[in-house]
Amino acid sequence: MFNTGKFVGKTVLITGASRGIGKEIALKLAKDGANIVVAAKTATAHPKLPGTIYSAAEEIEKAGGKALPCIVDVRDEVSVKASVEEAVKKFGGIDILINNASAISLTDTESTEMKRYDLMHSINTRGTYLMTKTCLPYLKSGKNPHVLNISPPLLMEPRWFANHVAYTMAKYGMSMCVLGQHEEFRPHGIAVNALWPLTAIWTAAMEMLSDKGGEAGSRKPAIMADAAYAVLSKNSRDFTGNFLIDEDVLKAEGVTDFERYACVPDAPLMPDFFIPSGTYDHKFAPGAGIGKKKVAHEAGVIEEEIKQVFASAKRLLNEDIVKKAGFVYEFILKDPVTKTERFITLDLKNGGGSLVDKKTTDKPDVKFTLSPEHFAPLFAGKLRPTTALMTKKLKISGDMPGAMKLEGILRKFTEGKL
């Protein structure tokens, strides 16, 4: 997606712009000569997450834009108002607001502390609402004014709620702002849209969450930046109230080469959360596509593959990986033919670790429910846990960050580097 220069002199306030998707969008618009308000909390570097509002501002200036770094807590009304007033004072107004700041905790109801629940709702839903409300008077007089929320389509499917209902509620709150405010702001010519990635996007936060295990199936933040550029280029009076997927936006703009966005070219893609069933399933499988090719496994073949997994585990598990992991995983193998259940426990919390063909605890940290034929491919790296979840080959309950961490563990398992 080429820069056209149409954002020169436009003022864009982006929350959570010190790193990741927010910063990538800022840099894309800066190449046109836009004024970027870097609104984020990070004033000093995080030990595991690089980037501050000041380092982002420096990059924006080098890219050709003008930058205003603002220390902003989107939960705090005083902080938000101060940043908006400072932006208006420096640049004369606000033309575009991008609500990107977000908090995540992929935990079930029992595991979600109320302070974590409050954090997600106060940043995701309330923060988006507050920032939009505060910018509104200036957006009304903006040039082709847009509000863009980095939030998902509103899919009312139980699978997107069951494992992390608190997070889904908070994230959907951002999308509900789009649903309501696009119609409310229509008389003012202010567009309000949502943009969401089709695949996982590889950022420093994603690297930390997945223990460096998901890069091969992810895309670079540049795809979201290019898609945002296309959306914000639309006439704000005509293009509003849309729940958009990044790849769809770029296809409509004539983009055909998506390998440029791949972190690892030709690697099977890993879908993001909140992607509609069926429509994109063919994107997330090596070869012909998930759900369109059934491989007939005889019971003896499946059992032999499972035995090989046990043999590999015995050889590779050690205390070092247990120290890094700290979770007990239970795999419930449900045979669709015999209707029987088989329990396999991967203990990466105690001693030197173990993989045993039985249930060892009533309270594993994470439970995976799947068909026996998918167990060995999961350990062999042929089926990614996240992809299996999105395509309904796998159900997960319990500690979702622990489940995400398994992605990196299984990658090392496949490489024989445990």
Q: Which of 214, 197, 189 is nearest to 267 (CA)?
A: 214
Contact call for residues 40 and 16 (beta carbons, < 8 A): yes
Contact call for residues 355 and 322 (beta carbons, < 8 A): no
Q: Which of 196, 416, 201 is nearest to 317 (CA)?
A: 416
CA distances 313 to 40, 68, 74, 304, Å, are 43, 52, 46, 14
The DSSP string of 297-338 is --HHHHHHHHHHHHHHHHHH--HHHHHHH-EEEEEEEE-TTT
Count helices and strands in the chain by DSSP H and E runs: 15, 12
CA distance 220 to 200: 9
CA distance 336 to 57: 55
Axis crossing angle, helix 77-91 with helix 127-139, rounded to the nearest 10: 30
Residues contacting 219, CB < 8 A, separation 6+: 197, 199, 200, 201, 202, 258, 261, 262, 263, 269
Burial (CB < 10 A; 0-12, 13-18, 19+), residue 357, is exposed
Beta 96-99 vs 11-15: how paired, if at all?
parallel
CA distance 57 to 221: 18
- Residue in 117, 129, 138, 167 annotated catalytic: 167
Whether 229 is a known active-site residue: answer no
Residue positions annotated with a catalytic role: 167
